[in-house]
């Protein structure tokens, strides 16, 4: 099957662009002193940048041409693609451009074979860490081995985003396999003609051992497991990327109680606002075991989140009040679809502020409500303007509708991404899981019309699983394609927005 690389790269570049413009957080080397009564933030900071298969015969599955189900997975590797290739395979987009300068990560400060207890345990009473102790722990957290744990928020070990932890390899040794062989097999599995970035790979056993040592949970208990591409023949997980999420931190203070460490530091957003965090971990014979890393705004989480979202709501309200054009909304880092309310969908001269609004709900159950901006349903359900979440004390964009890509929330808390390109007669409708502020969306299933990939003579319509391209998908009939479209649209959610006016 011919792969139209330009066609597939367009959605990827769009996602990356939205990620970079939509993420409002950068890390800082902030100083935060803790005395016995209160925390005092110091002014001297310096920052480092960060933002925001099957080939089997499916006739028996698709007998009803208007109903394509995702309830079963096909395990037949007839086309050379392993359908068990991932435990939760997805594509990560929330990374900074590789062209920006990065501070070089330190190598691990811990011995692989002889771990020495750095901080003497207490009898249960709390005590402040000394400057020397704090420096030792800080140096460890700034190694590749542990730095990923400070780049994410998690309220418990099962909620760790392992994509972030392993993004730079977590200091693990690369398995000794022929790079050329692995790269060739990886590109074949992905349907790529060329590899444009570096390729990182780790063994499955390596990954599972590291997860258990650093969190105390097994890979099967992780809410956000590693989503790298799994290659069964090599028993490796692989990830192609050319950037880094490494963020050196400076600990401001710390407390130990028993063997549990409570460590305090800050991050800084694009508006130079600092956000306090508390990292909780303990020393074990295997190294550090991480318990939580949480944003601790002095006014409380609920009030702090409301303050962030209120500003976004106000910006959309003002833009609609001013009747901004689509391009003007884009210039202000907002969805151009907001202008459809008084252009494409103008209704009986009604005030657009009465037809648009906002809604909040914890869609991915991570403890933070997502903010949804959109148009109130009139004759039909309209795409959301955008969905934002919270990351490291600031907002982060999950998705944003544009002229070519529109997102519809479903009753089960997922979204459908509808994409169209009139010039190439390309169209797709992909159901995606809202994974969270660190991973955005994961494709579940969908249908694609791609005439440029119809070199088999079977037609330009495809059903795909966990993919955004026809590669590895199944040819379906036009009637099946239309049936899926019609069924999916019945899943669109009529969101109970609160109007701006």
Q: Residues 263, 318: one domain?
A: no
Q: Rounded to 5 degrees, what angle do the CA atoms 388, 390, 396 make?
A: 50
Q: What is the mean pLDDT of residues 191-215?
A: 93
The three-state DSSP-derived secondary structure of 335-347 is CHHHHHHHCCCCC
Instruction: Check: CB of residue 61 under 8 Å from CB of residue 476.
Output: no
Instruction: Check: CB of residue 492 under 8 Å from CB of residue 416.
Output: yes
Q: Residues 183, 140: one domain?
A: yes
d(CA 458, CA 401): 32
pLDDT on residue 454 = 66
80 in any annotated domain: no
Alpha helices in 191-300 (DSSP H): 204-215
407: enclosing H helix or E strand: strand 405-409
Q: Residues 146, 246: one domain?
A: yes
Q: Residues 240, 149: one domain?
A: yes
User: pLDDT tens across 102-115, in order?
Assistant: 444 544 434 444 45
Residue 47 tokens, joined: 């920052």
d(CA 98, CA 241): 9
pLDDT on residue 485 = 96
pLDDT on residue 5 = 34
Q: Across 211-348, where does the E strand assignment appear? A: 229-231, 236-241, 253-257, 260-269, 274-284, 287-295
346 or 42: which leads in pLDDT:
346
d(CA 236, CA 309): 41
pLDDT on residue 438 = 72
- 391: nearest Cα among 31, 100, 51, 158: 51
Q: Is the pLDDT of residue 302 over 80?
A: yes
427: enclosing H helix or E strand: strand 426-436
Q: Residues 342, 267: one domain?
A: no
pLDDT on residue 278 = 97
User: pLDDT tens across 487-500, in order?
Assistant: 999 999 999 999 99
Q: Residues 209, 99: one domain?
A: yes
User: pLDDT tens across 366-381, in order?
Assistant: 888 999 999 997 778 9
Residue 251 tokens, joined: 């600990």
pLDDT on residue 410 = 94
pLDDT on residue 52 = 37
Q: Residues 291, 337: one domain?
A: no
- Residue 431 to residues 28, 282, 434, 460, 491, Cα–Cα distance (Å): 37, 40, 10, 19, 10
Q: Is the pLDDT of residue 228 over 60?
A: yes
9 in any annotated domain: yes
Q: Which of 255, 270, 295 is the last residue of a domain?
A: 295
What 3-state class would DSSP assign to 131? helix
Q: Which of 253, 269, 295 is the last residue of a domain?
A: 295
pLDDT on residue 115 = 53
Q: What is the mean pLDDT of residues 138-163?
A: 94
69 in any annotated domain: no
Q: Is the pLDDT of residue 347 over 70?
A: no
User: pLDDT tens across 447-477, in order?
Assistant: 999 887 666 678 899 999 877 777 768 899 9
Q: Residues 291, 375: one domain?
A: no
d(CA 328, CA 351): 20
- Residue 107 to residues 59, 111, 141, 166, Cα–Cα distance (Å): 53, 11, 10, 14
d(CA 279, CA 112): 23
Q: How confident is the model at residue 1 (pLDDT cuts 50, 70, 90)?
A: very low
pLDDT on residue 118 = 72
**Whole-model pTM?**
0.72
Q: What is the mean pLDDT of residues 13-36?
A: 36
Q: Residues 291, 334: one domain?
A: no
Q: What is the mean pLDDT of residues 336-353?
A: 83
The chain-wide mean pLDDT, for the chain, equals 78
What pairing do the DSSP bridges indicate for beta strands 126-128 and 47-48? unpaired
Q: Residues 221, 327: one domain?
A: no
Domain that holds residue 341: 301-499
396 or 378: which leads in pLDDT:
396
pLDDT on residue 372 = 97
Alpha helices in 357-473 (DSSP H): none
Q: What is the mean pLDDT of residues 12-20?
A: 40
Q: Which of 240, 266, 295 is the last residue of a domain?
A: 295
393 or 118: which leads in pLDDT:
393
Instruction: Check: CB of residue 328 under 8 Å from CB of residue 319.
Output: yes
Least confident of 66-75, 103-112, 339-348, 418-427: 66-75
Count of structural domains, the chain: 2
Q: Residues 282, 312: one domain?
A: no
341 in any annotated domain: yes
User: pLDDT tens across 243-270, in order?
Assistant: 888 888 999 999 999 889 999 999 877 7
pLDDT on residue 78 = 32
8-state DSSP, 279: E
Least confident of 123-127, 349-353, 453-457: 453-457
d(CA 341, CA 393): 31
Q: Residues 161, 286: one domain?
A: yes
d(CA 331, CA 339): 13
Instruction: Check: CB of residue 45 under 8 Å from CB of residue 265.
Output: no
The three-state DSSP-derived secondary structure of 73-91 is CCCCCCCCCCCCCCCCCCC
pLDDT on residue 47 = 32
Q: Is the pLDDT of residue 357 over 50?
A: yes
8-state DSSP, 349: T
């Amino acid at each position: 099957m011919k792969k139209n690389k330009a066609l597939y790269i367009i959605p990827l570049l769009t996602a990356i662009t939205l990620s970079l413009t939509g993420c409002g957080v950068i890390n800082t080397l902030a100083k935060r002193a803790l005395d016995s009564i209160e925390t005092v933030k110091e002014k001297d900071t310096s920052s480092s940048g960060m933002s925001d298969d099957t080939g089997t015969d499916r006739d028996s599955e698709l007998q009803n041409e208007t109903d394509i189900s995702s309830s079963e997975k096909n395990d037949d590797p007839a086309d050379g693609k392993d359908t068990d290739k991932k435990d939760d395979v997805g594509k990560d987009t929330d990374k900074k451009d590789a062209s920006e300068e990065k501070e070089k990560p330190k190598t691990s400060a811990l011995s692989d074979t002889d771990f020495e207890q750095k901080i003497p345990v207490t009898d249960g009473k709390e005590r402040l860490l000394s400057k020397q102790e704090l420096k030792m722990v800080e140096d460890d957290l700034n190694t590749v081995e542990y730095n990923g744990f400070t780049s994410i928020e998690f309220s418990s070990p099962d909620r760790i985003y392992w994509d972030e932890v392993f993004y730079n390899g977590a200091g693990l040794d690369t398995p000794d396999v022929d790079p050329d062989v692995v790269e060739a097999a990886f590109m074949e599995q992905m349907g790529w003609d060329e590899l444009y970035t570096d390729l990182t790979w780790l063994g499955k056993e390596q990954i599972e051992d590291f997860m258990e040592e650093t969190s105390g949970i097994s890979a099967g208990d992780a809410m956000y497991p590693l989503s790298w591409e799994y290659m069964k023949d090599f028993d490796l997980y692989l990830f192609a990327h050319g950037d880094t999420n490494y963020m050196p931190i400076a600990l401001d203070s710390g407390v130990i109680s028993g063997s549990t460490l409570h460590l305090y530091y800050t991050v800084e957003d694009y508006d130079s606002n600092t956000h306090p965090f508390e990292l909780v971990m303990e020393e074990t014979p295997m190294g550090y075991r991480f318990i939580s890393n949480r944003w601790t705004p002095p006014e409380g989480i609920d009030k702090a989140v409301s303050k962030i979202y209120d500003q976004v709501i106000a910006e959309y309200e003002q833009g609609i009040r001013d009747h901004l054009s689509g391009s003007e909304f884009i210039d202000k880092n907002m969805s151009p679809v907001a202008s459809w309310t008084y252009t494409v969908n103008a209704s009986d001269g009604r005030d657009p502020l009465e037809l648009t609004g906002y809604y909040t709900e914890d869609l991915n159950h991570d403890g933070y409500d997502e903010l949804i901006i959109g148009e109130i349903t009139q004759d039909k359900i309209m795409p959301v303007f955008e969905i934002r979440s919270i990351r490291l004390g600031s907002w982060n964009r999950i998705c944003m509708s544009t002229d070519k890509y529109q997102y519809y929330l479903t009753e089960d808390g997922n979204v459908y991404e509808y994409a169209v390109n009139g010039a190439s007669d390309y169209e797709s409708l992909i159901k995606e899981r809202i994974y969270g502020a660190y991973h955005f969306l994961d494709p579940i299933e969908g249908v694609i019309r791609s005439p440029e990939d119809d070199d088999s003579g079977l037609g330009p319509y495809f059903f795909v699983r966990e993919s955004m391209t026809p590669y590895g998908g199944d040819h379906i009939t036009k009637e099946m394609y239309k049936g899926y479209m019609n069924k999916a649209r019945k899943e669109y959610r009529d969101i109970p927005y609160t109007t701006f006016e």
